[in-house]
Amino acid sequence: MASLTSSTITHPFLSNNNSNLLISSNHVVSISFPGTRKMVGKKKKNYGATITAMAQPQRSAMQYNQLGDSNLVVSEITFGTMTFGEQNTEKEAHEMLSYAVEHGINTLDTAEMYPIPTKKETQGLTDTYIGSWLKSRPRDEIILATKVSGYTDRLTYVRDNAPEVLRVDAANIKESVEKSLKRLNTDYIDLLQIHWPDRYVALFGEFFYDPTKWRQSVPFAEQLRAFQELIDEGKVRYIGVSNETSYGVMEFINAAKSEGLPKIVSIQNSYSLLARCKFEGNLSCHAIVLLERGKMVNYMVSSPSLFLLDISFIRKSILVYIICIRKANL
């Protein structure tokens, strides 16, 4: 997810006079615009935030939805933070976070690998900025979602022992969570997601599955057992997936059902007029890339590396996009 990264740029499409334009759907429970418990286990924790008790500022017209079959109620817009530490200062990040919460957003999304673009020198700054901001706020008013990295040989510096590759196994998941908790200045994560699968899938620009890239992967049940331990310890409330396929979703659901393991409650995938899918299994979609990286609103200009930061233009384009969505009854 992306966020605006200048203290001089606010979020005009989140202002009170436009908040009635939020998208409503049975399964798409939260969306992220670019720019700008029920506890199960041995150890239970009073998290404070419940379905009926959430931070909902009176001056906000934000709408809220239950996330899957969890007891998390999330704002229909989630604040994505993946550029915190790369394109803004800590002070600017704090200003943006406070602005978002003041306008009804109660859900923040981060990941252990952030900020983007990924670099060893900056890795973890996004979490650190959020964590320092959280020190002055009631923790139970914020739903904090983060992600453990999937299979890769490019981000091995996020682990202490610098393995040849990262896997979604017990050791990697536990180390990821412990470090995330420390950076985020909290003792629990509301939603822990697998950033991308351990097994090979077509990702990040790949449009077709390449069978020659198949590899052995960590079994679905083994991944869920690692999450179960963290839930039992009170460090994680719920789990979800990201950049996942229908096959992966159903395998996780089946493994949870057959072995009595925690069920995933959400999926964070691209979702737009150009990328459509149907969601089953009482699984909520946390939609990203809604504007297809600018393609849907003519956001990109002459070069892919250049972006038009004319806020009035962006605002008008997004409103046109929302009108198209409503006409299509999406």
C-alpha–C-alpha distance, residues 264 and 279, integer Å = 13
Nearby residues of 115 by Cβ (< 8 Å), 6 or more positions away: 82, 83, 84, 85, 86, 87, 122, 123, 125, 126
Residue appearing with tokens 């002070």: 91
- Per-domain boundaries in the chain: 12-296
As a whole number of Å, the CA-based R_g of the chain is 19
pLDDT at res. 51: 34
Active site residue 200: no
Average pLDDT over the chain, rounded to whole?
Answer: 79
Most confident of 4-18, 38-52, 135-149: 135-149
pLDDT at 59 over 60: no
pLDDT at 37 over 70: no
pLDDT at res. 305: 47
Q: Please tell me which residue in 64, 114, 151, 238 is annotated as part of the active site.
A: 114
pLDDT at 17 over 60: no
Which of the four CATH numbers 3.90.75.20, 3.30.1280.10, 1.10.3720.10, 3.20.20.100 does domain 12-296 have? 3.20.20.100
Q: Write out pLDDT tens, residues 237-274.
A: 999 999 999 899 999 999 999 999 999 999 998 776 66
pLDDT at res. 288: 59
pLDDT at 186 over 80: yes
Q: Write out pLDDT tens, residues 275-314.
A: 655 555 566 665 655 555 555 555 444 444 444 456 676 6
pLDDT at 38 over 50: no
